[in-house]
Structure 1
Amino acid sequence: MAQATNHFQIIGGEHRGRKFPFPDAPGLRPTPNKVRETLFNWIQFESSGKVFLDLFTGSGALSFEALSRGAEQVISIEKDFNAFQNLEKNRKKLKSDNLQIIHSDALDFLSKKPTQIFDFVLLDPPFHQKILEKVLKQLSIEGFLTTGCKIYLESEFEITNNFLNQEISQKIKINQQKRSGQVHYCLIEVL
């Protein structure tokens, strides 16, 4: 396994300040602290006791932040084996039974009907590979998006209602949207 020389730090909640290592992997870029802080400010009164699905877990920054801020359960999907192994090590350090890490490709995971309802879906796919479009379509087709579900998206382009309506069959609205450097991020809600 590649030596984990990079770190992210939990910025709020029960585990605030704890640092976790993660390995170098192609396309792996943890959500920056400023962006994570904005996201969790947006959902601060809604995340406690909720179920999160993190489809491109990577370093684990979003999953671990959700746990720290009171998520009841986080299901984390990661296809890179080194990143997956590292996530398992970090889960053991955190001593959390509320985090399930699955070694799978996101689209393969989404090809199976959901066995539970997710309150939040976190999407931070690799940029410039047109994966976001496929994942949104699959989430919609397979029934992962229920009324009231919120989806957090990171992309290299601005998310528009027009774009979302092409990929998602359910009625949706953009609740919040910002940009930080080259990263566009938003929170949408299924109506």
Structure 2
Amino acid sequence: MSGTIRVPLIEPGSHPELAEVEATIRAERGGEIAVLYQALLNSAPIASGWERMLSAVRNRTQIPADLRELIILRVAVLNRATFEFAAHEPHARKAGVSVDKIAAVRTVPAKTADFTDVERLVLELTDHMTREIEVPDAVMQRVCARFDPRGVVEIVATVAAYNMVSRFLVALNITH
């Protein structure tokens, strides 16, 4: 794979017809339009929908931030999405994920000795969804026993959404 991003990046402010989408991205992301969104801006409907979906996953679920960030980091590792891992490692640390757990999530299989039972369960679900697509009934039964239906949907949606993110990044060679 070459080192070149495979679509042009849209410079924020350079296309007046994108002003509304850019304003939404800036509002949700703290003023910055990252390279991922500069690629997405090649399609205003995709950029807009992406931002709404990912903002819901990042900011409007009941999943504790540390679990969410462990999911995101793990998906990034499994899909070799270096940009995503680098982007979310600071969020994971801010959410209280230890340096040891961040290092452990990088290993395949994950070295889960230091993780709590719920962290191990969420990482196991993440691995199944990302690597095999199908989740064994026994794993889903444990997930459903641990979380209410909203929690199950939110955790599964987080894994699925960040698989989308990481696969988009890898396909378009967005690595920094």
TM-score when normalising by structure 2: 0.37
Identify the structure with the greater strand proportion: 1
Q: Which structure exhibits the higher relative contact order, with contacts defined as CA atoms closer than 8 Å and separated by 6 or more residues?
A: 2
TM-score under structure 1 normalisation?
A: 0.35
